[in-house]
Amino acid sequence: MSFVVPCSISYIVAGIYKGGDVPEGMTVYELPDFDWAIFDCSGPCPKALQDVNTKIWKEWLPGNPDFEFPGRVNIEWYGDGDPSASDYHAAIWIPVKKK
């Protein structure tokens, strides 16, 4: 079986850069200036986050008459607490632009 992969995927664990020296082995990555659609997620991970992600890419974005995905990045935000808890809070941020 062969696969054609149109792009590469990088998974980056990051924090907000507040200036100063950058530790060796780390890179400052500046995101383009986007508007963001933020999708809250509640429930145990990874399933709750995967369910929201699927709805974004298969339902919300293709069916949205006003916005499209302009970029090559999205953000997964993980809250404090137990990721396996039924009330765990996370979010997915995707950049959007008006069609």
Helices (H), the chain: 47-55
Q: Which residue has the higher pLDDT, 15 or 86?
A: 86
**How many Cβ atoms sit within 10 Å of the Cβ of residue 95?**
20
pLDDT at 7: 60
Which residues, in sequence order, are bridge partners of residue 35?
96
Task: Write out pLDDT tens, residues 46-87.
Answer: 999 999 999 999 999 999 999 999 877 888 999 999 999 999
Which residues, in sequence order, are bridge partners of residue 1?
none
Q: How many CA atoms lie within 13 A of 48 on its CB side?
A: 19
pLDDT at 4: 53
3-state helix, strand, coil split of the chain in percent (to 5) is 15, 25, 60
Cα-trace Rg, the chain:
16
Q: Is the pLDDT of residue 5 over 60?
A: no
Q: How confident is the model at residue 34 (pLDDT cuts 50, 70, 90)?
A: confident
